[in-house]
Structures are given as structure tokens and as C-alpha cells.
Amino acid sequence: MNDVVRHARTTQHAAGSVVHEANALLTTVGFVLNGRLKAVRVDIRGVESLFRMIDRGEQYGMMVGAIAEPVPIRVIALEPTTVLNLDYEEAMELTLRHPDLRRLWLKTYARLLKRHFLGTTDRRAPMMVALFHDSYGMNQRSALGKHRVAWHGRHRHVCRRPIPICRTIGFRARGPL
């Protein structure tokens, strides 16, 4: 990894900025450290069509750089993005010297091919945010009395006890708490 750090440089891209212009020679391999990029194909009339999305942990330029000629692909940052860049030739030399690095980089490209051709994605840990609100201001004669309200995604759950056994009351949230 010291070799990679010694030869790489990071670049910061604001949302909406062009990371790589269409019809320019791609001379680097880029690894997205955070943020997201969108690659679009630009035809001869200037019309853009989606080529691919590049998420955190993915790379671009390893295969296109092998062509060694300009390609009609523009890469745009969708959100603030940090990219680790390596000169294409230096990246290829590093893969020859370090088999583990070669395997890792090829694996990132293989995941892209798997997603593109087979329509599958890697499993990621599920994410859920829950907010609990103690409602002390409710009328004691109400049907629910004192309760806890939990918001899971866009569904509202009512809990009668402070333990996570909830029942859905069947409506979706229409705004902030």
C-alpha cells in the first residue's frame, strides 16, 4: 500500500463538476473514496445518455485506459466526491508488482460487470432509523393514552410499552415530526 500512497493523489470534486471531459484521453485510474459519479455517453450531436453510475468503492478508467484513445464519456460528480487517482501506466506496474492489489482491483471491476450483466448487487447491511417520541400531552381519555410513536422509514408504529413490540397503524407520514 505504500507504493499506492506514494504514486496516488486525491482530488475533491464539488457536486455538478466535471471529473473527466468527453473525448479527452483518459490517462488515470480513479477510485471513488466517497461520493458518487455519473458517467454519460455523449454522441456527435452532444446528446447525453447514461453510461453508468460510479459509487463509493468503485473504480473507473482501468479498462477504458487500456484503449489509449479518447472516448465519448463525460464523468460528472453527483455530490461532493473524493477520488484517488493513479497514472494508468503506474497503476498497471503496481498490479504486476503486487498480486494482492491486482486481485483487489480486478474484483472491483468484476463487481461492476456482475451488476451490469447479471443485474445483481452486493448485499449491504440494512439501514433503519427509528425516532421515538414520548407523548405526555395527550388526553388521558384518548384510546391510546400515553404511548410511544416510532417512525421506521415512512411508516408510523405505536408502542404501548417502552419495549420494541410495535404494531403498524396503517398510514404513512406526510412530513416532518
Structure pTM?
Answer: 0.63
The model's pLDDT over 15-44, given as tens digits with 9 standing for 90+, comes to: 999 999 999 999 999 999 999 999 999 999
Q: Is the dihedral of CA 24, 30, 35, 38 positive or negative?
A: positive
Q: 86 and 156, same structural domain? A: no
Cβ pair 85, 107 in contact under 8 A: no
Q: Which of 75, 94, 118 is the last residue of a domain?
A: 118
CATH of the domain at 16: 2.60.120.10
Q: 158 and 79, same structural domain? A: no
Q: 78 and 160, same structural domain? A: no
Q: 136 and 111, same structural domain? A: no
pLDDT of residue 123: 59
Q: How far apart are CA 102 and CA 118, in angstroms?
A: 23
Q: Is the dihedral of CA 161, 164, 170, 175 positive or negative?
A: positive
The model's pLDDT over 80-108, given as tens digits with 9 standing for 90+, comes to: 999 999 999 999 899 899 998 888 888 88
Instruction: Say whether pLDDT at 114 is over 90.
Output: no
Structural domain count, the chain: 2
Q: How far apart are CA 72 and CA 40, in angstroms?
A: 8
Q: 140 and 78, same structural domain? A: no
Q: Reduced to 3 states, what is the DSSP secondary structure of residue 84?
A: strand
For the residues 6-15, what does the mean pLDDT come to? 94
Q: 107 and 47, same structural domain? A: yes
The model's pLDDT over 152-165, given as tens digits with 9 standing for 90+, comes to: 444 444 444 443 33
The model's pLDDT over 48-72, given as tens digits with 9 standing for 90+, comes to: 999 999 999 899 988 888 888 999 9
pLDDT of residue 166: 35
Domain range for 163: 130-172
Grid cell of 83 as nine digits: 477520488
**Nearest 10 degrees: CA dihedral of 97, 29, 114, 52?**
180
Q: 59 and 36, same structural domain? A: yes
